[in-house]
Amino acid sequence: MSATEDRKSYLVECYWPGVSVEKLVDAVRRVHDAQSQLRGLGADVEFVGSILVPVDETVFCLFDGREADVRAVSERAGVLFERVLESLRFDSERSQGGRP
């Protein structure tokens, strides 16, 4: 199986007591740095974005790539996570009759 065939979308679930916008912004910077470092070493991973749910002290980070690389970026960035879940993303164009 090629690296391209291994590439999927992942949701990284982080329970983060005391999370704030400022802490998430700092974490996103670290994720971008870790992603750049690992891509320089040949990893095929892309940080897509994050979702903050303040009332639940939860952050969801979205990635495309291989699961091992997603885990490596999160660990290198110091983002503590509960789970890494393969996921499917639907944008507004796909939700209006297009195929996923």
In Å, what is the CA distance from 86 to each residue of 10, 13, 21, 22, 62? 4, 11, 25, 27, 10
43-90 pLDDT, tens digit per residue, is 999 999 999 999 999 999 999 999 999 999 999 999 999 999 999 988
Can you give the CATH number for the domain in which 39 is found? 3.30.70
Tokens 């892309």, residue? 46
> Who contacts 73 (Cβ-Cβ below 8 Å, separation ≥6)?
31, 34, 35, 38, 43, 45, 47, 63
> Who contacts 32 (Cβ-Cβ below 8 Å, separation ≥6)?
47
DSSP conformational letter for 82: S
The answer to whether residue 88 is domain-embedded is yes
- Note down the domain range covering 60: 14-96
Task: Please report which confidence band the pLDDT of residue 2 belongs to, taking 50, 70 and 90 as the band edges.
Answer: very low
The answer to whether residue 3 is domain-embedded is no
Q: Give the number of domains in the chain.
A: 1
